[in-house]
Amino acid sequence: MPARVIVLAGPSGSGKSLLAERLAHRFGWPTLRLDDFYRDGDEAGLPRIGYGAPPRRLVPRLLRTGNAGLVDWDHPGTWHCEDAVAALLELCRTGATDVPDYSISESRRTGAQRLDLGGAEVFCAEGIFAPDVVRACREAGVLESAYCVTQHRGVTFWRRLTRDLREHRKPPLVLVRRGLALLRDQRRVVAHAVDLGCEPVSPEEAYREVSALVSRSSADA
């Protein structure tokens, strides 16, 4: 029997990765990190940020120089959707697949690894572009459930900023400007995920729902 996937979508910093780690620790299944399918930063034709700074009233003068012209890593055009879907479906069908290792700080792939389900019948796939895989998973009959993990915009902003600074993902000023832009865009991101079939939930709600789902499946087995 093929494995089934639980898709975890949501704004950057909403708690998707932490939720996936909690579920993996509890149930012993691996996680497919969809963000590892980013394109390399020097690839031709990547979408660029076309807007400038946040509104003047919101930020000090130092932050009002926009990120315009930089690669827009929140645009789906920076991501290999077809490769991600192919790997996900192979993982469901065969229980293993090759996935890239991606360095966000270097904006490039640094290698590859073999992801093996180890016999698990359910696993999580998470990433900011996760809504884009929901339809393909549903049509292939491997979708267990799909969630859009969301929290208050201020909480998400702070979690994202502290994580990105800790991991040195990009220069600090770029991260602050990006964070302010994403704070304003969060409602649209959530609405888009819902339109593509994700259920909006908090991290705790998702954890409880998945735990109950797995318990029911185990009881029915």
Mean pLDDT of the 14-34 span: 94
Spatial CA neighbour of 81 closest among 35, 49, 43:
35
Structure token digits, residue 159: 């979690």
pLDDT of residue 53: 47
pLDDT at 216 (0 to 100): 79
Cα–Cα distances in Å, from 128 out to 29, 78, 92, 141?
Answer: 20, 11, 20, 22
DSSP 3-state of 38: strand
pLDDT number for residue 177:
87
Return the pLDDT at 76.
Answer: 94
Mean pLDDT in residue range 152-170: 93
Work out the burial of residue 33: count CB atoms within 10 Å of its CB; fewer than 13 is exposed, 13-18 middle, 19 or more buried.
Answer: buried
Rounded mean pLDDT, 196-211? 96
Give the integer Cα–Cα distance in Å for 199 and 197.
Answer: 7
Residues 169-190 have a mean pLDDT of 91
Which CATH number covers residue 36? Answer: 3.40.50.300
Buried/exposed code over 76-90 (b: 16+ C-beta within 10 A; e: otherwise): eebbbeeebbebbbe
Total number of residues shown for the chain: 221
Instruction: Please give the sequence-ordered ranges of beta strands (E in DSSP) within the chain, or none if there are none.
Output: 4-9, 31-33, 96-103, 108-116, 122-126, 143-149, 199-201
For the full predicted model, state whether its pTM sits above 0.85: yes
What is the tens place of the pLDDT at every residue in 106-148? 999 999 999 999 999 999 999 999 999 999 999 999 999 999 9
| Both tokens assigned to 80 | 């290999």
Q: Give Cα 111 distance to the centre of its chain.
A: 20
Domain count, the chain: 1
Domain that holds residue 53: 4-220
